[in-house]
Structure 1
Amino acid sequence: MYFVLAMCLFSGQGYEEVGRLLTQGLERERRWSKTWRVPTSGAIGRARLRLGAEPMKALFARVCRPVALPATTGAWFRGLRLVSVDGTTFDLPDTQANAAFFGRPGTGRGQG
């Protein structure tokens, strides 16, 4: 979980750098073995594939709740909860399955 969340925080970094950033303070605090090395990007990618999406789905189901209660002033309009989207984007592999599910981004000259 920590690694996936750290990938969101350090979205411009590769897997190995995210691993290094996550563990860099542990050695100083004597909570990490000096012989341990950050796994390669390939090893991390394979581990993520083996793990699948279920742990993140379980975390989301356990902790995700609306912030506004029915009595929260300003959170409702005509009985509907107001929400916003922050514009976060994710890089996905360029596969036919992803294109079929998510579509492709448009361009100024038409469809993507």
Structure 2
Amino acid sequence: MYAIVNIAGKQFKVTKDQYVYAPKLAVDAGASVEFDEVLLADDNGTISLGAPTIAGAKVTGKVLDHVRGDKVIVFKKKRRKGYKKKNGHRQDYTKVLIENISL
């Protein structure tokens, strides 16, 4: 059984007992979260498709931790002009354990 769910504006294909690194959510670590924007669900070959979402379907999970992604280096340069700029960025994520998918 899997579902495609909208979490903070991004779509994730989730299954039970899976870890998802979603964009940072304003929820404390250890708290339970519920996602009700289920776009598609597959229950052993029976596919339910929402228009745009499936009414009554929910995905519940538990927030494990707030983490940061790998560092991305942004380097800009204009040759022969003496212009160089180096910048780094680390994106914030929330690690969520998917506990249950209910249709």
Scaled to the shorter chain, the TM-score interval is under 0.3
- Greater relative CO, 1 or 2 (CA 8 Å, sep 6+): 2
Determine which structure has more spread, i.e. the larger CA radius of gyration: 1
Structure with the larger helix share: 1
